[in-house]
């Protein structure tokens, strides 16, 4: 299977009380359903439903977990029916700020802020439309792990097994600080135009580029950056990352690396979506309205694997340790060894794949 598909789930009332009309969810699936073999994969902040497969029409980047999902791979699509949906508020087919509102114009600044629980409510509606009453496994890393947690807390009867990667029970002060600084970079771009830039000559590319650079520093480890780049300089004739970025005659190699990743995101992502999704992550707190973190996590009935990355400075191991200690079905914390920091949950496919395979087996 594979290939982007769409489901219209109708109106969705958000935690704020605002109702989004005519919500559409983009998703992809692999394998064949047998009634008890469905696995839900939840992507991170700038990911999408394209977990597996090459870059192509409708897919601006190749599959982000090709080494983990597929025939004969740890999440084996010969055995499991794997579903991945684009997140509510995103920009890869699911309703978001760039989508057309009922008046025929892009939502833009009028698109409401979301919470992680709103995004899960949309995924629950998708599951209902697909006829999936219970997931064999719900799997998510980083922002995807936030949604996986909410799935297991709010709908424990629908989650048999749970895999949480490099995530937390609540967004920390430092995570919110980094997130809101990235948001400020976008908001202060002159081309942001209050969020209504879709018909303008220029989008807030510089702001989004800077937001991604800030984020990417936190995604990798200090040791990796030191080992890969040190104080090396790029050759004077090396290509700049972003046109008009103010590149000097000599540029530190690490600065060129960040410019490259900023430019890549600008080519495939929407600034308004970046704002809505990071704000949703800022809202993440499983204890909100549920008493305490322990009470909230105590609702989970799924057999659970919790994994963290030993070099992750964005979602440090103490956050995963809290999850492992308070979720009844968790059997301790699995530590993935990696020099790659937070991105280790995407890079260390052999270690992560082994944990996923053992959980689903």
What are the structural domains, with CATH classification, of the chain? Answer: 5-171+284-360 (3.40.50.1820), 175-277 (1.10.1740.110)
- What pTM was computed for the model? 0.95
Strands (DSSP E) found in the chain: 5-13, 19-30, 38-42, 69-70, 75-76, 81-85, 137-141, 161-165, 233-234, 251-252, 303-309, 330-336
Q: Kindly report the backbone phi and psi dihedral angles of residue 11, in degrees, each rounded to the nearest multiple of 5, phi listed first.
A: -75, 150
Question: Which of 52, 44, 55 lies closest to 77, judged by CA?
Answer: 52
The H or E element containing residue 179 is helix 173-187
Residue 39 β-bridge partners: 82, 137
Sole residue written with tokens 């191991």: 317
Q: Which residues are catalytic?
A: 142, 312, 342
Question: Which of 27, 31, 24, 25 lies closest to 4, judged by CA?
Answer: 27
Q: How far apart are the first and last CA of the chain?
A: 22
The pLDDT averaged over each successive group of 10 residues in the chain (361 residues) is 90 98 97 96 97 85 94 97 98 97 97 98 98 98 98 98 98 98 98 98 97 98 97 73 50 95 97 98 98 98 98 98 98 97 98 98 90
Give, as one character, the DSSP assignment of residue 194.
Answer: G
Report the pLDDT value the prediction gives residue 9, as an integer from 0 to 100.
98
In angstroms, the CA 245 to CA 283 distance is 32
In angstroms, the CA 130 to CA 331 distance is 31
Report the pLDDT value the prediction gives residue 256, as an integer from 0 to 100.
95
Report the pLDDT value the prediction gives residue 244, as an integer from 0 to 100.
45
Sign of CA dihedral 340, 219, 229, 267: positive
Report the pLDDT value the prediction gives residue 243, as an integer from 0 to 100.
43
Report the pLDDT value the prediction gives residue 60, as an integer from 0 to 100.
80
Query: Are β-strands 233-234 and 161-165 bridged in parallel, bridged antiparallel, or unpaired?
Result: unpaired
């Amino acid at each position: 299977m594979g290939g982007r598909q769409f489901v219209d789930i109708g109106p969705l009332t958000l935690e704020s009380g605002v109702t989004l009309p005519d919500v559409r969810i983009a998703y992809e699936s692999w394998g064949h359903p047998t009634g008890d073999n469905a696995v839900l994969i939840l992507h991170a902040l700038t990911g999408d439903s394209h977990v597996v497969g090459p870059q192509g029409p409708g897919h601006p980047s190749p599959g982000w977990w090709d080494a983990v999902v597929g025939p004969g791979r740890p999440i084996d699509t010969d055995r499991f029916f794997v579903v991945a949906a684009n997140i509510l508020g995103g920009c890869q087919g699911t309703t978001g700020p760039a989508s057309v509102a009922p008046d025929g114009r892009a939502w833009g600044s009028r698109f409401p802020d979301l919470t992680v629980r709103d995004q899960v409510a949309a995924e629950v509606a998708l599951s209902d439309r697909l006829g999936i009453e219970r997931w064999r496994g719900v799997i998510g890393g980083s922002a995807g792990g936030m949604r996986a947690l909410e799935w297991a807390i709010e709908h424990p009867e629908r989650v048999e097994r749970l895999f949480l990667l490099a995530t937390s029970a609540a967004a920390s002060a430092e995570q919110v600080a980094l997130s809101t600084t990235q948001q400020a970079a976008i908001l202060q771009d002159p081309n942001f135009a209050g969020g209504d830039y879709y018909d303008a000559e220029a989008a807030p590319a510089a702001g989004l580029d800077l937001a991604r650079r800030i984020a990417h520093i936190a995604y990798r480890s200090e040791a990796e950056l030191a080992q890969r780049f040190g104080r090396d300089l790029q050759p004077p004739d090396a290509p700049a990352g972003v046109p008009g970025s103010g590149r000097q005659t000599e540029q530190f190699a690490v600065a060129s690396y960040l410019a490259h990743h900023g430019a890549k995101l600008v080519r495939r992502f929407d600034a308004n979506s970046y704002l809505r999704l990071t704000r949703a992550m800022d809202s993440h707190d499983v204890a909100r309205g549920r008493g305490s973190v322990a009470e909230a996590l105590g609702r989970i009935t799924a057999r659970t694997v919790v994994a963290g990355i030993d070099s992750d400075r964005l979602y440090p191991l103490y956050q995963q340790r809290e999850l492992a200690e308070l979720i009844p079905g968790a059997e301790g914390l699995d530590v993935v060894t990696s020099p790659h920091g937070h991105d280790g949950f995407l890079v260390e496919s052999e270690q992560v794949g082994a944990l996923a395979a053992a959980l689903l087996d």
